[in-house]
Structures are given as C-alpha cells and as structure tokens.
Amino acid sequence: MKVSILQFPGTNCEYDTQYAFEKLGAKTEIIWHKTTSIPNDTDLLVVAGGFSYGDYLRSGAIAKFSPVMSAVKEYANNGGKVLGICNGFQVLTEARLLPGALKRNEGLHFISKHHHLKVQNNDNVFLKKLESGDVVNIPIAHHDGNYYINEEGLKELEANGQILLKYTDANGKISNPNGSTQSIAGVCNKEKNVFGLMPHPERAMEALLGSDDGITMLEGFLAS
C-alpha cells in the first residue's frame, strides 16, 4: 500500500504519520504543498497535523488555497481515500471536503493529553478493524478542536452514519474536552472516502508511550 502525506509550511506531524504507516508495512511519500498532482500509485492521502501557515487567519484557512489542494479535491471526488488528522481535519473542513467547522476550544486553552474515544460507526474503511461501541485511547493536541455543525447538518451526519468517533471516558460515557457539538471527535463524508478527526492515531503506535490503539485504527486502510 502507498500512503502519500501532505506537507505544508508549519506541518509538524508528517514524520510521525510516515513512521506509523511504515510500521504497518506501507510505503510512504511526503508531498510538498506546491505540488500540483497526487502520485498515481497513492492508495491513501493523509493531510497531516500541525499548524499549516502558522494557523494565521484561521486554522486550515490558508492551506486550502495551496496549489496541491486542487489535486486533493480531484483525488477525493474520484473516490480516492483521504484522511485528515488534527490540522488536516481543519484543512478538509475549510476546503469543504468534510462538513462542519473547527473553532476555538471552549476553555480557550491548548489541550494536550491522552483521551478516550468511542467508535460510533465502523461501516467504513477507517474503522473497519474496530466494532461500534469500542473505546480507544488516543492523544489529542489542539487549540481549535471544537467541532461545530448546525442542527440540520447534525441530523444529516446521524442519518448517514457519518459520525465516526466521540470523546468519552474509559467506560464510554461522554467526556467532552473542548465543547464539540455532541462530543464529536471525527466524521466522514457521505461517500465514506474522506475522513477527519482531531485526535492523533499516529501518536498511539507504542504501548510504551501510553497507547498502541492507533494501530487498530490505521490498519483499516491497509486491509481495504
């Protein structure tokens, strides 16, 4: 499997992402934001975390205008699988490849810690190795992770099974760290080929470092 990983000025999780997928046996390539095409052999395109363009203006708002984003949209619209992690999720919502928006955390502070997530829907390649109701422990690190969507949009997400993950405690009870609507931590598009989440599964690959639950999450792409 070939994983292409986008890199913008300010991206800082591309090498963690590269390590995670290579640990699972995938081939990887880091793609600079000025590239105007996605490699033909790409099986998964990852928009990695960090602070693209320093998060100036609004997180992900400048990155959506980078030359590579036209190719990202074409790749996604042709059915290619795309995963946005943290800032990557913000970029994908700004580019309207995913519904909703990410705004400042409710407490106005940067949050960096492990946090539990409950799987809401596994009818997709991303979470196919997990069961609905499973709880995983994945790090979060964000300042603008408060997912927002209006009431009409929320009903659509629920009806289409687009809500992937919610923030919970270890027992699966809602525990919302940032004010996200319905405690949502991750969503997908209607076609279920574009995925976004604020937590960092690429940082949960070693039990020694607190959790290896990210392995099971990312393995879904390799099994598809």
Query: Is 200 annotated in the active site?
Result: yes
> What stretch of H or E contains 165?
strand 163-168
Q: Which of 33, 116, 142, 200 is catalytic?
A: 200
Q: Which of 33, 86, 142, 188 is catalytic?
A: 86
Whole-angstrom distance, CA of residue 207 vs CA of residue 205: 7
Q: What token pair was written down for 53?
A: 């363009």
Q: Which of 33, 116, 142, 202 is catalytic?
A: 202
Query: Is 188 annotated in the active site?
Result: no
The Cα-based distances of 118 to 74, 125, 151, 158, 165 in angstroms read 31, 16, 22, 15, 6
Q: Which amino acid is at 98?
A: L
Would residue 104 be called left, alpha or beta, if left means φ above 0 and alpha means ψ between -120 and 50 degrees? beta
Whole-angstrom distance, CA of residue 34 vs CA of residue 165: 32
Supply angle C-alpha 127, 129, 134, rounded to 5.
Answer: 75
Read off the DSSP letter of residue 28: E
Q: Which residues belong to the active site?
A: 86, 200, 202
